[in-house]
Amino acid sequence: MVLLSLVLTSPVVIFGVYFLLRLVSKTSLLFIAKKWWRLLEDSCHVYQFYKIPKFNDHMQENQLYTKVVTYLNSLSSVEDSNYANLFTGNKSNDITIVLDSDQVVTDTFLSARVYWTNEKSKTGSTTLVLKIRRRDKRRILRPYIQHIHTVFDEIEQRRKEVKLYINAETQPEKNGRWISVPFTHPSTIETTVIDADLKNKVKSDLESFLKSKQYYQRLGRVWKRSYLLCGPSGTGKSSFIAGMAKFLNYDIYDIDMRNVTDDSDLKMLLLQTTNKSMIVIEDLDRFLVEKSTAVTLSGILNFMDGFFSSCGEERVMVFTMNGKDQVDPAVLRPGRIDVHIQFPLCDFSAFKNLANSHLGLKEHKLFPQVEEIFQSGASLSPAEIGEIMISNRSSPTRALKSVITAMQSNMAARVVNKIPRSASARVVGIEDSGESAGLYSESVHTVREFRKLYGLFRSKSSRKEAMDIDLQDKEYQRQSS
């Protein structure tokens, strides 16, 4: 009898259990059960909390924060949090999952479970909070943080893409002044047409800088190297900076001096830059002449000497100028900027390089004529010659003829306006620094403007002379090589 009732009821029981399990697994009941279980478990342990704020008291970005965020976003448990942000990755079909604020992510390390929360305060600043069981704390905290460093380095190595940071106008309500975008400039050191020897010198200088940490430490000096790129508009200074950053795999912090209010603002910006970065100030000569903000010369000099950035290291500073004539000698005094590189206008050899890269020409029957015009003193910037070649690339002969015509007009303008041979052929106004500036705009300029230009844009006539890489710190080179 008992057996019969068991046989009759068991399918009902089995079905009932099966139904219950399905219900639990298909609904939020399982989630709720897990949550209760965790709460129960939590209440049985004593926890230790560690905070990792995004910024320190001096508004410098906390490197550990950046590393932990990258680490957490790489964990599969981020997907399990209630809210997560989805972004496209480096490739268009990549998806990156990013932890949302106030969400808990769990991780396991050396069999210990830890919890992370990304807390956002009312002021908008974010802090990561690590929760570890007290009994695990001593055993795992240090190795765990070390593990995060290692994983972060591996991720960075894999995905490192150079970023360009630009300083926005003052935004006191926000943490940090820099806005970053992926740096996708196509220029490399190789694609910039400058003397091959000079290129190699710069590359080996950068390489020896990268290996010189101990050397700088021994000297008690900030591990930094500074470069001055000087030359007329359109000679490849900005392109070269892009090439240097890619060569070093450094992020670029491009300081727009118009958005720097005073010395302390400049200091603040510098404190917010990271190690392994390139800090760039373009058109420094123009800024020093115009003095459009309250930044003082001594503020700039302190910056150059690495005084402000003494709390960080592994930084390369690059300044560009169109000319040195109007710049305070203090800026240029020996030892202040380590390497001076002159960017000259095109000569015949640079022209041939451009013809090769832009038109695929190694030789052409018009080359002798072009050479002759160069010898007579005419010259244009690589940007101007490159522009003509690009717009006539379907017909190399037409391109060369256009270059010849442009150079002849340039020569004629010099004669009319008595511009000396050594003066720059760049004939656009000082304000007009864009490469799109008209090649033939010389006629609209007055003699006074040309004199002004001569003062600013004077360059040496010989390319060899001009390519003067002035490695002032000879001892540095010898020791670090």
Ligand X SMILES: Nc1ncnc2c1ncn2[C@@H]1O[C@H](COP(=O)(O)OP(=O)(O)OP(=O)(O)O)[C@@H](O)[C@H]1O
Binding site for ligand X (CB under 6 A): 192-194, 233-239, 322, 343, 382-383, 386, 433, 435
**Which one, 436 or 446, has the nearer CB to ligand X?**
436
The string of DSSP codes covering 27-70 is STHHHHHHHHHHHHHHHTS-EEEEEEESB-TTS-B-HHHHHHHH
In terms of Cα–Cα distance, which of 313, 322, 275, 273 is closest to 166?
273
Q: Minimum Å distance from CB 73 to ligand X? A: 35
**Which one, 144 or 319, has the nearer CB to Mg ion?**
319
Whole-angstrom CA distances from 264 to 54, 251, 274, 298, 308 are 21, 23, 18, 12, 10
**Consecutive H or E run containing 318:** strand 315-321
Q: Minimum Å distance from CB 357 to ligand X? A: 7
Query: Which position's Cβ is nearest Mg ion?
Result: 238
- Classified as helix, coil or strand, 244 is helix
Q: What is the distance between the alpha carbons of residues 282 and 299, in angstroms, rounded to a whole number?
A: 16
In terms of Cα–Cα distance, which of 176, 43, 38, 51 is closest to 118?
51
CB 319 within 8 A of CB 337: yes
Q: Minimum Å distance from CB 297 to Mg ion? A: 22
Q: Minimum Å distance from CB 239 to ligand X? A: 3
194 binds, among ligand X, Mg ion, none (CB under 5 to 8 A by kind): ligand X
**Which one, 118 or 235, has the nearer CB to Mg ion?**
235
Q: What is the distance between the alpha carbons of residues 261 and 170, in angstroms, rounded to a whole number?
A: 8
* Cα distance from N-terminal residue to C-terminal residue, the chain: 97
Q: Minimum Å distance from CB 238 to ligand X? A: 3
What pairs with residue 104 in β-bridges? Answer: 117
Q: Minimum Å distance from CB 287 to Mg ion? A: 13
236 binds, among Mg ion, ligand X, none (CB under 5 to 8 A by kind): ligand X
Q: Minimum Å distance from CB 121 to ligand X? A: 41
Query: Which position's Cβ is nearest ligand X?
Result: 236
Instruction: Among 167, 235, 238, 277, indicate the residue that binds Mg ion (CB under 5 A).
Output: 238
**Which one, 224 or 237, has the nearer CB to Mg ion?**
237
177 binds, among ligand X, Mg ion, none (CB under 5 to 8 A by kind): none
**Which one, 383 or 400, has the nearer CB to ligand X?**
383
**Which one, 309 or 322, has the nearer CB to ligand X?**
322
**Which one, 381 or 409, has the nearer CB to Mg ion?**
381
Tokens 């050397």 locate to 215
Q: Minimum Å distance from CB 240 to Mg ion? A: 9
- Scanning 88-96, 233-241, 339-347, 381-389 for contacts with Mg ion by CB under 5 A, the matching segment is 233-241
**Which one, 377 or 386, has the nearer CB to ligand X?**
386
| DSSP E strands, 134-204 | 163-167, 178-182
Q: Is 423 exposed, middle or buried (0-12, 13-18, 19+ CB in 10 A)?
A: buried
User: Strands 112-120 and 126-133, how do they pair?
Assistant: antiparallel
299 binds, among Mg ion, ligand X, none (CB under 5 to 8 A by kind): none
What residues line the site for Mg ion (CB under 5 A)? 237-238
